[in-house]
A and B are shown apart, each in its own frame.
Chain A
């Protein structure tokens, strides 16, 4: 392993570990919008040392990305940067363009969020790494190729030779991100800026990439600036944390200080808003010790936890499972799937694609069922089919007592059934018609169904706005005037307008910031209790399901692999996939995350045997 780092300036002996690599003083960034300067970051001060990970945390609009791109001069031309940025004592700002270009890629490298768009699709992965290497080093093509292969090996790609010859689209999302990391490391950067490196990835893949980054940090001794909104990722990787809000750093400290002793009210609010997997239940008795549950289910032993301590936690967990009440299940099922298969119909020469196979699922009135899975698992497909937007290819699907598996597309029966279903979409910006005032969007289904007209309709719209806690005069506003969370509230109000018996919510909070997500989830939960509708809640985020769901269904590759009550799934997961999924969710707490990480490593090791 040591020969990977036997060249280049990143090699530092133990004596100079901790030398300051990046020093930022009074960094301010402004953007010119409509001939006015709008500040994106104001007077930032921080430093990063070799071998250290500084996490810059903040919600959207906090200026975390803008300030970090400013380090490299990668901002659009309508921006203005002031202050001082020193890389190993050398000033980066204010110099001419060639100065910063020579630094980019060589001394400072960036890992972007979306590896599909950050890699050029018309060149092979290898060619792109070779190009980076030869741009900054005078080496022969052969040497550059050697180096590229070593890098691909370093990022733990299973077959470096094959990855070298692959085009970006031939690799999976996680492999692409690894290739991106290999490319950014190919010139032994002193500083690595990782801009939301795992946000576009599934949790299990995210956990692998985080493992990789932790290994690399220990091997390479670069300074790393990690930009993220995810507190779990921060807890997993960061040594020090800077919390940003609206362009200002509100708090900095070690991971320990920030997580256990947050001082600024915003940091406290942010940490409180992060959903913890296992803490969704009411009160402390509802809390699930997922680590203990996993350890019990897999008979694992942990180095970081005392054996007796772990045994005690496992016993507590088992007792709580026994005491947990069975989920409410009474009355006629609102949604019932029996051996359902769902296909995307063939389009032109593209053959039909079977996205879901053999699904069995029942939702009773007033019950919230969380449908969890990674991308491509078919969870959204089930949600869409329940609303009749996709045809059922095999099996029986009953919605509010009616069999819609044979219903004609756009037929009368489907029309009838749809009146009892409300649907909330993932992206609040695209799920509202931008040309209609939100009052009309909310009132449209009621008007069409002939439930209300004229002044009566207006009253109903006002009542719905009250329910989702929006001011009544928002009725005349247009979607682009509202924030994401407010738009999602409008989406919920619209879904509620016909008093549905079943609500299908397709990742309703995944496009929102954590603090907004917490509020929207709380609202959703209150409305569900108050109105008593049944709900199919589709999400990739286990922690969100944990807050809401009575029952949890875990999907993998088009099949439901495990389902049960919240307690059964979280306290005693049986399927290896469920266990892996639970173990991959990072906890927003550094110590507990260390336990969880160890457990995950054991899980994977046993799975490999």
Chain B
């Protein structure tokens, strides 16, 4: 093939070579109507509303939400779930390591305490520590992360370095060391634990918040708000934060579970809540002495702990799917 016999312009040659049909679709089958019509009979739906609509149909969400509701109800009103108040009714050594009996469905511990009642009444301390630690972490981590991400520059540099320092300290190890301090050792309450867990737990939320804020900070609608006279801080509160909340909520929900585990771990190690306070961690610790002869007093609180933690993590996953469709698995 040489340049001479290449067709110079096929457009002129094409119609001569063959007949091209001019096809036109039936007008009645392809009517012209407004393409971009909003369904006006539908109620307006915000993004939160849409996420809620999506959540309601997810079995994962329904199961975890139900479990969490039960756990919260138990921790608020434990006497509704157990006829025995283990705090006021002394344990009967006669029942030591006894199996299930009427009124005592899960049997007794080595000291003759009712396992079921202790599991029910131990819920509150675990949930309290988990919930308030998460709130504290959200406050401190959320505020520092948002300021660092939004203002950037030296604010970011300082806050990010402080963040890194705390991030480098492992949660449990840091808590063990802190609990040895005389101030804390003298007041071992749920609030001390919350304080210490918040101290080592906030960097994670701060990082997530910082990332989410940076992502939204440069969006056009923030620039638009700024150019229309919204103050810098005002646009952070009104425009940036509402759009950065989704990932923060997800991580907070998941970390709530891990804080409950941390509380139990510290109590198990004997440096968390004092033995006088009923908690799953304490129960597991005291039951390990009789692990071989009677494992049940250890297994039941462990199951309660697992279910609670699992339902928070499942809830976090379901929320991630609903709030952040991009992260959804295919």
Contact = CB atoms under 8 A, between A and B. Distances in A.
Contact of B47 (A17, A76, A239, A434): A434
A435 B7 CA distance: 58
B22 interface: yes
Contacts of B220: 425-427, 430-431
B224 A425 contact: yes
A196 interface: no
A445 B5 contact: no
B234 to A, nearest CB: 8
Interface in B36-69: 36, 38, 40, 44-48, 50
Interface string A390-418: 00000000000000000000100001001
Contact of A448 (B17, B219, B229, B330): B229
Nearest to B48: A435
Contacts of B29: 248
Nearest to B224: A431
Interface in A1-20: 1-2, 5-6, 11, 13-14, 17-18
Contacts of B30: 245-246, 248, 250, 264, 266
B25 A264 contact: yes
B328 interface: no
Contact of A249 (B25, B35, B50, B223): B25
B149 to A, nearest CB: 15
Interface in B298-330: 330
Interface residues of B, number: 52
Nearest to A239: B14
Interface string B15-27: 1011011111101
Most buried by B among A257, A473, A476: A257
Contacts, number: 171
Interface in B1-19: 1-3, 5-11, 14-15, 17-18
Contacts of B8: 218
A444 B25 contact: no
Interface string A489-510: 0010011011000000000000
Contacts of B111: none
A421 B229 CA distance: 10
A449 B225 CA distance: 12
B242 interface: yes
B246 to A, nearest CB: 10
Contact of A482 (B24, B38, B221): B38
B212 to A, nearest CB: 13
A430 B219 CA distance: 6
Interface residues of A, number: 86
A476 B18 CA distance: 57
Nearest to A498: B228
Given A248-B25, A476-B44, A433 B227 contact: no
Contact of B223 (A11, A425, A482): A425
A418 B46 contact: no
B185 interface: no
B69 to A, nearest CB: 27
A252 interface: yes
Contacts of B14: 52, 239-240, 254
A481 B36 CA distance: 10
Given A249-B25, A430-B220, A239 B232 contact: no
Contacts of B239: 433, 436
B32 A265 contact: yes
A485 B20 contact: no
B230 A444 contact: yes
Contacts of B36: 482-486, 516
Nearest to B18: A18
Contacts of B219: 430-431
Given A218-B10, A255-B11, A474-B38, A264 B27 contact: yes
A239 B38 contact: no
B95 interface: no
Most buried by A among B25, B29, B230: B25
Contact of A253 (B9, B20, B227): B20
A545 B213 CA distance: 36
A415 B22 contact: no
B243 interface: yes
Given A254-B15, A387-B227, A51 B243 contact: no
A240 B38 CA distance: 35
A1 B330 CA distance: 48
A421 B227 contact: yes
A330 interface: no
Interface string A120-151: 00000000000000000000000000000000
A491 B47 CA distance: 19
A61 B35 CA distance: 10
A14 B224 CA distance: 60
A415 B38 contact: no
Contact of A471 (B1, B27, B40): B40
Contacts of A313: none
Interface in A426-450: 426-427, 430-437, 441, 444-445, 448-449
A269 B33 CA distance: 12
Contacts of A477: 38, 44
Interface in A226-248: 239-240, 245-246, 248
A423 interface: yes
Contacts of B229: 415, 418-419, 445, 448-449, 498
Nearest to A418: B229
A256 interface: yes
Contacts of A410: 232
A559 interface: no
Contacts of A217: 10
A101 to B, nearest CB: 21
Interface string A366-409: 00000000000000000000011100000000000000000000
Contact of A478 (B1, B23, B24, B45): B45
Given A265-B27, A444-B228, A448-B229, A17 B44 contact: no
Contacts of B35: 59, 61, 246, 483, 515
A448 B230 contact: yes
Interface string B164-194: 0000000000000000000000000000000
Given A415-B229, A425-B224, A478 B20 contact: no
Nearest to B10: A51
Given A250-B24, A474-B38, A483-B35, A590 B47 contact: no
B30 to A, nearest CB: 5
20 contacts: A76-B330, A218-B6, A239-B10, A253-B22, A263-B22, A266-B32, A388-B227, A418-B227, A430-B219, A431-B221, A433-B242, A435-B243, A437-B44, A448-B230, A474-B38, A480-B47, A482-B36, A497-B228, A516-B36, A590-B11
The 3 A-B residue pairs whose C-beta atoms are closest, nearest first, are A483-B36, A431-B220, A253-B22
Given A388-B227, A478-B46, 20 more contacts: A2-B2, A14-B5, A17-B7, A17-B17, A218-B7, A218-B8, A245-B30, A254-B14, A255-B11, A422-B228, A431-B220, A433-B225, A434-B221, A448-B228, A448-B230, A474-B38, A478-B44, A484-B36, A495-B228, A590-B11
